[in-house]
Amino acid sequence: MNLLEYTFQQIINAVSQGSMFALVAVGLSIIFSLLRLTNFAHGDMMMVGAFGTLVMQLAGVPFLLAVLLGIVISALVGIIIERIAYRPVRGAPDVTMLLTSVALTYILENLGILLFTSSPRNFPLPDWLNASFNLADGRISFTSINLLTFGLTLLALLFLAWFVRNTQVGLGMRAAAEDLTASYLVGINVNTVIVVAFVMASSFAGLAGVLWAAQAGVVEPHMGFTPLLKAFVAAIIGGFGSIPGAIIGGFVLGALEVLIQSLPSEWGLGAYRDAIVFTLLIAFLLFRPGGIVGVKQEVKL
């Protein structure tokens, strides 16, 4: 395998990995920008989406429809937790909201354990999704899942970009993220905006959960934890609260992880992948808290 082919293979891996981080990070950023809420329960929406899809499949629903229903279920759970857990503490100190989200994580994960036990379950895939493609006589290979991950992420992000530019609720979402008080004064229905934001964030996470499970082949109640942490890193290095920032951060992080792993193994850096990633996070927090896009501090009245 020559260097060019090797690089191309790693780019495919990086894009696939980055898509997933971006998909989860965008939701974290949207919610943070509106509520100053660091939503730890966001990762569990991945679990909800994946289990939702699994249950639908077991009930005999065809795969694609099952995925769609799984995403709808995550959106519904998002609406429910906003209504019963986050709305009552809206406007409370940031720590209160943070603790609420940590509590929700425990509740959701334990609910998952109660319903599905904590042991991983096989995540069945239709054959066409397991198909792999080979280029250059098999020296470059990728699967349908890689393709699907990138394709669906691209679609989701394009939809989001269209939504926040062209719909009244989307405009309201950006406005409320910039200046909540001013959005009340111009008559934006902030409650609607927040509910729609939860629907979007949770469905994106649900989709990411399905893709994650498809790549791993299994689902389990704690599956959202690691991707959540990674998505946090992505959102923060991109610029916490910014949609473009989360997308950039997601792909940068994906590329970085794949880069670390693709370095010659005698360097021995592969084992320190997570350590390097979190060191980067600390460096950003210390030296560039606004992230790559440079998020400005919020305006206070």
Tokens 């910014």 correspond to 242
- DSSP state letter for 92: S
Q: Angle between the 144-166 and 3-35 helix axes, to the nearest 10 degrees?
A: 40
Helix (H) or strand (E) holding 253: helix 243-262
Beta carbon nearer to another protein, 6 or 184: 184
Binding segment (CB under 8 A) for another protein, from list 60-68, 187-195, 224-232, 272-280: 187-195
178 lies in the binding site for another protein (CB under 8 A): yes
- The residue from 168, 226, 265, 279 that contacts another protein (CB under 8 A) is 168
175 lies in the binding site for another protein (CB under 8 A): yes
Rounded Cα gap, residues 246 and 243, in angstroms: 5
Beta carbon nearer to another protein, 121 or 174: 174
Query: Could you tell me the two tokens for 251?
Result: 């792909």
Count of Cβ atoms closer than 10 Å to residue 230 Cβ: 24
Residue type, 206: G
- The residue from 174, 222, 229, 273 that contacts another protein (CB under 8 A) is 174
190 lies in the binding site for another protein (CB under 8 A): yes
299 lies in the binding site for another protein (CB under 8 A): yes
297 lies in the binding site for another protein (CB under 8 A): no
10 lies in the binding site for another protein (CB under 8 A): no
Residues 6+ apart with CB under 8 A from 146: 12, 13, 16
Binding segment (CB under 8 A) for another protein, from list 24-32, 44-52, 174-182, 277-285: 174-182
Beta carbon nearer to another protein, 176 or 237: 176
The CA–CA distances, whole Å, from 50 to 143, 161, 227 equal: 19, 25, 13
291 lies in the binding site for another protein (CB under 8 A): no
Residues that bind another protein (CB under 8 A): 168, 171-172, 174-175, 178-179, 181-190, 299, 301
